[in-house]
Structure 1
Amino acid sequence: MSLLFIQGGSRWKFDGEGNIYTDSNFNDNVWKRYRKLDDELVVLLRKEQKIYSKKEASEKFNKFDDSKMKYIATPDLYKPWRNAFNLAIRKEIMDTVDHAVKNSDRVIIRSLGNIYTNTALNSALKYDKPFLVEVTGFSRETLWYHSMRGKIVSIYKELQYKRLIKKADYASYVTKEALQKRYSGPKNKLGCSDVELKIDTSALEKRIHKIKNKDAEKFILGTAAFLDVKWKGQKYVIKAIADLKNKGITGIEYQLIGSGTGKKLIRYAKKLGVENEVKVIGALPHSEVWKWYDSIDVYVQPSFSEGLCRSIVEAMSRACPIICSDVGGNYELIEKDFLFQKAKSSEISKLINLLSNNKEVLLKQAERNFKTAKDFDKEVLDRKRNTFYKEWVSNGK
């Protein structure tokens, strides 16, 4: 029996020696959860054009073990953008997805709303293949804040998403309620984050020691997100730091990790005179991300759209104090007083100033967030998820 997993957001990355990688959204622990469901796992993603050196790829990305799983790489319809108007590329993608669905026994479709996943759903219906949809984010907001082209199609895509999700019998949502309110339909539903956490009981103790012994020399903020998309909102944190600096409040450093170049963010920081306060680290393999969470003082998620933000949950598991935008399912995770309106740098600067000058607040938030993170422990989530997915597999036979 063969299981096809398809997602249209992430890209395959290759090095010069033919090794295959994915970004931080996927790693071998994630793939294991799907390999348990069937004899064979086939993963279909679009392919990034750039060829990396083995050193760079291994330092930035997660290696994909093609001895345990099969992969299918399709052209990228969205990058460069002119591909979107290439009918030959569009047909090749749709034919490849359709063929992959036809030759599978069941399909997991992650994040509807693009040509890859939408085609997979329609093909699954055409060939009467059991399929499960993983709902990870809000279509309209993601497109609206992506680009002008996104704004133009956002309402249509939102309506399309709602129409397609109603055709699914099974859906797994990463939120407890936020996404379910918007995208109802499937009669069989699961609310379960897709984060992969093994709670380290020493993380809180280390964080408390870090906070209590923190000197006043440098206060480090951090965000883990794609660097070259506007809707992740990092520029508003940079603006907040610049505003604080203009008021004489210094010693704040902002570190950014994630895929992309971050060139526009660097230029923006220079324009505001805080280029020395902003440090673009770039992509890190997932094993290094955990060390990075431990190195920062406060985690910031300024996105304009989220489902249930995986990075917030990961930061919580390292007992990070956190501030984030009040979008998507973020309210399910973080206390109201530490949420800010998207794109409101004035609110961000107030929270940064509060946390950088109050160890008691930092300690309280560290303890509160770590306690909440325990609800996302891998064993807890795996039990919920495995029961639901096995039910789907059993009923689809």
Structure 2
Amino acid sequence: MKLLVALEAHFYRTPDGRVWNDSVSDASFWQRYLNVFEEVLVVARVKQVETNDPKWKLSSGDNVEFWCLPDYQGPWQYLKQRRALQDEVKKAVKTCDAIMLRVPGAIGTLVWNVVKKTNKPYACEVVGDPWDSLAPGTVKSIARPLARVMTTWNLKRQCEQADGVSYVTEKTLQRRYPNRAAFYTHYSSIELHDIAYADSPRTEAPQGEVRIFNAGSMATLYKAQDVQIQALHKLRELGVNAKLVLAGDGVCRAQFEEVAASLEVSDNVEFLGLLPGAEAVRQELDRSDLFILPSRTEGLPRAVIEAMARGLPCVGTNVGGIPELLESDDLVPVEDAAALAERIAVMLQDAKLYTERSEQNWQKAKDYHANLLSERRTTFYTRLRRLAEQRTR
């Protein structure tokens, strides 16, 4: 049985036929599907390049094939290439027995529009919320308001009509995007193995200069690095000796650097760029005293769970699945740098609170161990396979 997986990530293909990416996991990511299906066909945008960047991860592997769609950027390029995209998607769907849509996204919607006219079963893995991710202030585009309405409407329909639905949150996304599916569940895309966990939580509050860490894409304003820098400025005004360390890269990085310069905190903000792998991320987490994620929108953030597994206290915003991870006192309003700075200061200055949150987060992260989530995912994929087998008889 062959499973088609449609997703929004951009990939890169070198002349030797290998496919790379700078966002999703490496080739091992597809193993979750290959545990149930013999073959996986990835339908995504793929750019042809001469050489791979050393920081990219190899995405292609055994029994994994890529159906390369044009690598368009943004809504206007999408509209120009929509007919070509539709033609390619139709061809891809014909070759597969079952379909998995990692939604929201334009690629998932293209595939959905084809699949719903066939008898082939499809399931959704809902990994985000377009109503929040396209809210005012998140994307600078005149097409944003329309895209927000249309993408939200599409996701609701996709979930309503799907044979199976899985959500990355336990409750949050389910409320906005209910399903009528024959089978549904929830699990995170994250896979934490034993190596991801610190041996024990932290037993002492930090002393001296405090290292505040964030890891997140700078391709958009979603992760609110600008708000983090503003909060750092306010912390230093409060007399907190803090340094903000930002991992990640993207087109918005220059904008964030300008914010730091305008607030005269450039010397206290370190831009690390893209980190080369999971071990490098763990090393940065272990060097840090606090993790923050004041996102404007979220699904269930992998970065927070990884930080919790290292025993780091965390502060985030009350959006998406973050409230399912953190205590309510550790949540602040979106866009509120003053509230973020205040909560950080409280966390750092209260040694008892600091160690309590370290223990709570470390324990909570164990709910996301690979062994626990793998069983749930495999059951979900198996239901989809059985349905495909029934319909092909």
Q: TM-score, normalised by structure 2?
A: 0.91
Task: Quote the offset at 1:296 in angstroms.
Answer: 1.8
Q: What is the alpha-carbon distance in structure 2 between the residues aligned to residue 384 and residue 244 of structure 1?
A: 42
Task: Quote the offset at 1:26 in angstroms.
Answer: 2.1
State the match for 2:139 in structure 1. 146
Residue 4 of structure 2 aligns to a residue in which SS?
Answer: strand
Amino acid at match of 2:259: Y
Q: What is the alpha-carbon distance in structure 1 between the residues aligned to residue 349 and residue 15 of structure 2?
A: 48
State the match for 2:69 in structure 1. 74
Mapped contact 2:129–2:173 kept (Cα < 8 A): yes
State the match for 2:121 in structure 1. 130
- Structure 1 residue 254 corresponds to structure 2 residue 227: no
Closer, same or farther: CA 208–248 of 1 in aligned 2, 3 Å: closer
Residue 185 of structure 2 aligns to a residue in which SS?
Answer: strand
Q: What is the alpha-carbon distance in structure 1 between the residues aligned to residue 358 and residue 16 of structure 2?
A: 43
- Structure 1 residue 240 corresponds to structure 2 residue 235: no
Task: Quote the offset at 1:393 in angstroms.
Answer: 1.0
State the match for 1:39 in structure 2. 38
- Structure 1 residue 167 corresponds to structure 2 residue 161: yes
- Structure 1 residue 368 corresponds to structure 2 residue 360: yes
Q: What is the alpha-carbon distance in structure 1 between the residues aligned to residue 247 and residue 82 of structure 2?
A: 32
Residue 208 of structure 1 aligns to a residue in which SS?
Answer: coil
State the match for 2:262 in structure 1. 271
Q: What is the alpha-carbon distance in structure 1 between the residues aligned to residue 18 and residue 105 of structure 2?
A: 29
State the match for 1:220 in structure 2. 211
Task: Quote the offset at 1:245 in angstroms.
Answer: 2.2
1:7-156 matched pairs, under 5 angstroms: 7-8=7-8, 10-14=9-13, 19-48=18-47, 51=49, 54=52, 57-58=53-54, 60-79=55-74, 82-86=76-80, 89-114=81-106, 116-144=107-135, 145-148=138-141, 149-156=143-150
Q: What is the alpha-carbon distance in structure 1 between the residues aligned to residue 229 and residue 352 of structure 2?
A: 25
Task: Quote the offset at 1:331 in angstroms.
Answer: 0.9
**Number of residue-to-residue matches in the alignment:** 383
Q: What is the alpha-carbon distance in structure 2 between the residues aligned to residue 70 and residue 395 of structure 1?
A: 23
Mapped contact 1:199–1:374 kept (Cα < 8 A): no
- Structure 1 residue 198 corresponds to structure 2 residue 189: no
**Cα displacement string for residues 66-90 of structure 1 (whole angstroms, at most 9, x for unaligned residues):** 34411122123334x641342xx22
Task: Quote the offset at 1:183 in angstroms.
Answer: 0.5
Residue 232 of structure 1 aligns to a residue in which SS?
Answer: coil
Task: Quote the offset at 1:384 in angstroms.
Answer: 1.5
State the match for 2:284 in structure 1. 292
State the match for 1:311 in structure 2. 303
Q: What is the alpha-carbon distance in structure 1 between the residues aligned to residue 373 and residue 256 of structure 2?
A: 36
Residue 194 of structure 1 aligns to a residue in which SS?
Answer: coil
1:291-370 matched pairs, under 5 angstroms: 291-370=283-362
State the match for 1:189 in structure 2. 184
Amino acid at match of 2:258: R
Residue 222 of structure 2 aligns to a residue in which SS?
Answer: helix
Q: What is the alpha-carbon distance in structure 1 between the residues aligned to residue 156 and residue 370 of structure 2?
A: 30
Mapped contact 1:74–1:93 kept (Cα < 8 A): yes
Closer, same or farther: CA 260–41 of 1 in aligned 2, 3 Å: same
Residue 70 of structure 1 aligns to a residue in which SS?
Answer: strand
Q: What is the alpha-carbon distance in structure 2 between the residues aligned to residue 18 and residue 5 of structure 1?
A: 19
Match among 160, 174, 197 for residue 180 of structure 1: 174
Q: What is the alpha-carbon distance in structure 1 between the residues aligned to residue 341 and residue 163 of structure 2?
A: 45
**Cα displacement string for residues 274-326 of structure 1 (whole angstroms, at most 9, x for unaligned residues):** 11111221222432222222222111111111121121112111111111000
CA RMSD of aligned residues (A): 2.2
Identity of aligned residues (%): 26
